[in-house]
Amino acid sequence: MIVKDIISENYQDLNITADNLNKNYLLEEPFPNIVIDNFFNKDFLNSILNDFPNLGSLDSSSRYENKNEIKYTNNQYNVFSKNTKNLFDFLNSQIFLQFIQKITSIKETLVADKELNGGGLHEIKKGGVLKIHTDFNRHPTLNLDRRVNVLIYLNKNWKEEYDGHLELWDKQMKECKKKILPIFNRMVIFSTNDFSNHGHPNAIKCPIYQSRKSIALYYFSKGRPLEELNINYIKNKTYFKDRLGHHNDTDSKNEYFKNFIRNLSFYKSLKNLEKKFFRKKNR
């Protein structure tokens, strides 16, 4: 992996770039975020796009088809092309981790998730959707808190009328504060906590021969500020939310009884044992 072949010449000095972006990142609404265009070497990212598989045709892909999300994902590193592996290696490297750390000003040391839990390659075809949500806030097998999302878009000639904008909503789910078109060589970095509502809630209207392609990576830390936690979120999962004025926008099942059980010490002990022994064994 040669970093200078991955990053565009305008961003070769990552320390200066991070210093320049830090203030804007922290001041953006509705939660810290930044949009960086043309961060990657154009030829290199073209090779990633050319190698991007039809995720619906791969047995190793995961398919989601419900009211909240209609999409395909693949986090199986071993099936990625050589250049795609090089990109993920770079995005999980200490060089990039330090870059993210500096932009976000997160005090706790950031850790990459090389298992790509929930990350990897994402593809959404015509009619696909990802309703507004907050992400799972804990690593599924490690004692780590989820802190930052990095999304890289690979869509050439993507038009406004296709929709598929990444929408960032306020804490109360009353207003979309920012809409980001998912165009080629656009990278979005944002802080994730129990109040960072985001998604693309409108069904994509691109031609049948196109799809919304992206790369997703998530970064973690051991510990996080308490103000980033919603005490009502007991289960570590994705929480989908209705937009103001959109009744029955999502499928949000009532889990009062389940949450009562999850709060019991005996249940928590069983879950910790399962994570420690069974999940690691099956990885």
Q: What is the pLDDT of residues 8-62, one digit of tens each?
A: 999 999 999 999 999 999 999 999 999 999 999 999 999 999 999 999 999 999 9
Stretch 63-91: mean pLDDT, rounded? 97
User: Pick from 50, 47, 52, 38: which is nearest to 7 by CA?
Assistant: 38
Stretch 61-74: mean pLDDT, rounded? 97
**203 — pLDDT class (breaks 50, 70, 90):** very high
Residue 233 pLDDT: 80
Query: Do 261 and 124 belong together in one domain?
Result: no
Q: For position 174, which CATH number holds?
A: 2.60.120.620
Q: Concatenated DSSP letters for 45-103? A: HHHHHHH---GGG-TT-EEEESSSEEEEEE--GGGS-HHHHHHHHHHTSHHHHHHHHHH
Query: Do 63 and 102 belong together in one domain?
Result: yes
Query: Do 279 and 178 belong together in one domain?
Result: no
Query: Do 168 and 262 belong together in one domain?
Result: no
For the chain, the average pLDDT equals 91
Instruction: Write the pLDDT tens digit of every residue in 121-139.
Output: 999 999 999 999 999 999 9
User: Pick from 210, 184, 194: which is nearest to 147 by CA?
Assistant: 194
Query: Do 140 and 268 belong together in one domain?
Result: no
Query: Do 42 and 157 belong together in one domain?
Result: yes
User: Pick from 232, 230, 247: which is nearest to 196 by CA?
Assistant: 230
Instruction: Write the pLDDT tens digit of every residue in 24-33.
Output: 999 999 999 9
Pairing of strands 120-125, 129-134: unpaired
Q: CA 241, 198, 163 angle in degrees (round to 5)?
A: 105
Query: Do 243 and 281 belong together in one domain?
Result: no
For the cut 90, the answer to whether the pLDDT of residue 278 exceeds it is no
Mean pLDDT is lowest, of 10-19, 207-216, 228-237, for: 228-237
Query: Do 261 and 229 belong together in one domain?
Result: no
Q: Which domain holds residue 98?
A: 3-252
Cα–Cα distance measured from residue 96 to residue 90, given in angstroms and rounded to the nearest whole number: 7
Query: Do 267 and 228 belong together in one domain?
Result: no
Cis peptide before 30 (omega within 30 of 0): yes
Query: Do 180 and 233 belong together in one domain?
Result: yes
Structure tokens that stand for 146 in this block: 């989820």
